[in-house]
Structure 1
Amino acid sequence: MLASSYNEVLVVFSLIVAILASYTALDMAGRVSTASGRSVSLWLAGGAFAMGMGIWSMHFVGMLAFSLPIDLGYDLTLTAASLLIAVATSAFALWLVCQQELPWTRLALGALLMGVAIASMHYTGMAALRMMPGIVYDPVWFVLSVLVAIVASGAALWIAFRLRQHSAWVVVSRAGAAVVMGCAIVGMHYTGMAAAQFPEGSFCGAANTGIDTNWLAILVIVVTLAVMAIALIISVLDSRLEQRTASLATSLAQANSELMQLALYDNLTKLPNRMLLSDRLEQAIQKASRDHSSFAALFLDLDGFKAVNDAYGHHRGDQLLVEVAQRIRETMRGQDTVARLGGDEFVLLVEIGDPTDAAKIAEKLIETVRQPYSIERHECFVSASIGIAVYPGNGNSQHELLVNADAAMYHAKDQGRDGYCFFESSMNANAHEQLQLLQDLRHALERNELVLYYQPKVLAPNGQTTGAEALLRWQHPQRGLLAPDQFLPLAEKTGLIVPIGQWVINEACAQMRRWRVLGREDWSVAVNLSASQFAHSGLVETVRSALQRHALEPRNLTLEVTESTAMRDADTSLAILDRLAEMGVSISIDDFGTGYSSLLYLKRLPATELKIDRGFIRELEAGSDDAAIVAAIIALGRTLNLKVIAEGVETTPQRSFLTELGCDSLQGYLLGRPMPAQQLTDSFVTPQPA
């Protein structure tokens, strides 16, 4: 037999190629298993070629490491056939490990087929030498090489299947597995080489007609490394793109979740909002109709919340609402729905067996809500008025149920608050009346039904008129002249107060311009700003436009803001009032003494006037508590260089006492009732001092 030898450097290189080929195979298996659509076929084809090229390259590097004392060459056809076998085997292996499951029977069959295919690739490559006479194989080593190929294939398939999914340690795991698989592949190759024996006098038939070993070495090394490098680079880039896509998908899912939260849940209390309540209510109606069961809609409104909100500020009012919502949520059962409609209104949907169940729940809620609250070390008290509408019976649609529950809630308030009422058909009259009034109010502006009355303001003590306060009235076509307390709460609740307020400012400025033309240039007209109007972003522009439209001096306009509104968000209020004051408009703090003021902020407000609430004037007499409060307010106003005006002056003793205390201006029925502008212009007579 011819003596053979191995180039140790190329043997080591063949092991490196086998390990690289194994790592490429494992990485491609991961790519194929996570791909979808057409990309599966592309990754499978590319992976099969890269993996097959690697295994085939390892075989021929090992062949190049092998030398005999004769010239060697390789038949082109058989060499190409061995490459095709390697690629086909790799494609089968990748397809197998990318299935959803890999039971032991399928693993064994796959290992057998793949092992035989790899052995075929090896011995086809050996046949490419075209040895004359043929190569003699030792039966024991031959069988052993095939068994090693089968066992190595089984191990490779199992490892690839286990490592096909991405994990935190996937690179390290694949590297370790690639070493094991590479050693197994190399072991099979050199076991097969050990089985080959070359008789004395043999010669290589492909030495002169086949591929020269030097050219084959260059071809194998360059092409193999290039293919595996390109495959791995593409895989790495795809992995990064996949991670980025996954990150973007996660961000998008989170953004969608946040949008859904904003769309369906109240931002303050995190309870379902009106939109989600509508969906839950529709489901409850369908379920009750299908199962012939009952449920109740409880409309809950807080009693005394406005007083707490005005006294302690908007921020603490929000904290109180959050605490109330938490108490309601803890009181209800898991299957019940608790929603916030806005402000201090909540709606609850509860499954009941009979109406007494709803009554028990309402009693429990009322008891829970009335317990004291501690908000930033301030003890607060509110109660709840609840209206109950039962389905079926009190309405067949969402709208009817909520309207009827709302009507019952208002009936509970009329009965003294801190209680509950079931809906009765007689309550519908008031609910429908309010609904009709709201519909009429929506058209009041366009139909020119709103009018302004003016109540004069006079100086103390001489009684000289200094201007008037504009007071809104509604000349309803059927109900007659309506006072503001009959429709302004509806306007505030529905947002109509903003366009109505804009109309009031414009109309008051127009009237003041007419008075200036008549010579009353020193007068000023006062306009009350509601909380919603004051918070509206277009307020400053509305005032500026009205002044410019009517060529009115800013000093002829006074804007009255209640103390509670100004103190609700003091920093924001300061910014708004500063912008108005910069225009030259006068600022009056209305209803002073009824809210919760910080003198630190009060002295920073660009106000020119304090207006004492009529509640202190009503029972004003020397030595009373109200007299002491009024005297203190007047003294405070003088200290801050503010004019002080008292409203609600109805008697001569009140006027005299306020004059003695040093009040600058007076307003009330004694000095002039609210009247149309023309009546004030034509018939107002300046009262003489008492």
Structure 2
Amino acid sequence: MLKVYTCIATQHDLRLVALAAVIWATHFIAMLAFQPAVPSGYNIALTIMSLLAAIALTGTGLTIGISPRVPHGRWVGGAIVGGGIAVMHYTGMAAFEIAGRVVWDVPLVAASIILGGLFGAAALPVALHANTVKWKSLGALVLTVAICSHHFTAMAAAAIMPDPRIVISATALPADWMAAGVALVSILIILLAIIGLALDVRDLRRAGEAARMQEMADAAVEGLIVCNETEIVAANRSFAALACVDGSKPAGRPLASFFPTVSQGEFTGTAQTPLEVGLCATDGSTVPVELIRHSILYAGKQHQVLAVRDIRGRKRAEEEIHFLAHHDPLTKLPNRTSFNEKLEAEFTTHRGAERCLAVLFLDLDRFKEINELFGHLIGDAVLQCVAEKIRGILKPGQMVVPGRRRVRCDCPRSAERGLCDAHC
């Protein structure tokens, strides 16, 4: 420990040591802080090799550390990062040319490697313990301790024996030039970090806005999709439940896969004007929907928002209203209006044609006795049964219509109207 203290206190510029710890260019600046009493320089190739080795091993360690498939990956990855520190340092020391010989203290060399490995192994678990500034800062502090403890222990393990016969090579980089290069690279890294931080903040802001838009869209009852000219970019839950019955996601799928009968021109022409189309769901069924288009600016680009309204309920109501307008509510047979339309159409078709047209009148005998003996509910059931039997023997183009012959009778309905129809 005395040798380590002496190395730090007497052989290093403490101002550069502090700078190395603050800006995290620890190895290179700490090497510049080392001031031996003999001429020195740096081999360019080996210096670059030490940098590349540090990048490669650190990247490998971080990749293993965040991988869930590696058992105890954080500790293993941190240990690899610590090993990278040792490789970088001793490769850098090999690049350090000096007018003398370097004699290594083997126990201190081993201690430096162990310190770097242990603190490096602890750095990743601490930094990845939680996604908060507190734990990330603690992890960075532990990694700084790993680098500093390794560096200064390793430097204390090196004893320089001056030898004037050893001449520094002409290609060796002077310490002043090395300092300028490290300063420029450090400033560039800091600038890139600031730019990356600004981009991250912008992306987080956009992600927050997108999340709020998604929450608002999911609260809508109608289906909403954001699309470009051919592809769905985003969709809310209502549209996913309507179109993706199999649980798949609509985003990223072609617009034509859901609306195969709608052309691009129709999409661009539906602004503020409802367009009734068929939505092809993922289970093969077709759902009648109504589309309304709006143009918006999404992610900095022009997109279309389609409001997709399920109109199956409305269609059923329209069909029911149409059915009731043209059919008898009791027997479900066509009513007098349908009969008149059919008869007029048949007259028009048969005029001038040598074909016959027949209209038959059928009477249900003793129906009044059924109502009087068994009640109107049984009478209605008889009418429904007769209507079903007649409907079953009709040929295409033939029609049966319940009559409305007015007769006088003694049923309760005649007390209200004075007359009732043949259903009685």
TM-score normalised by the chain length of structure 2? 0.49
Q: Between Structure 1 and Structure 2, which shows a larger proportion of strand residues? A: 1
TM-score by length of 1: 0.32
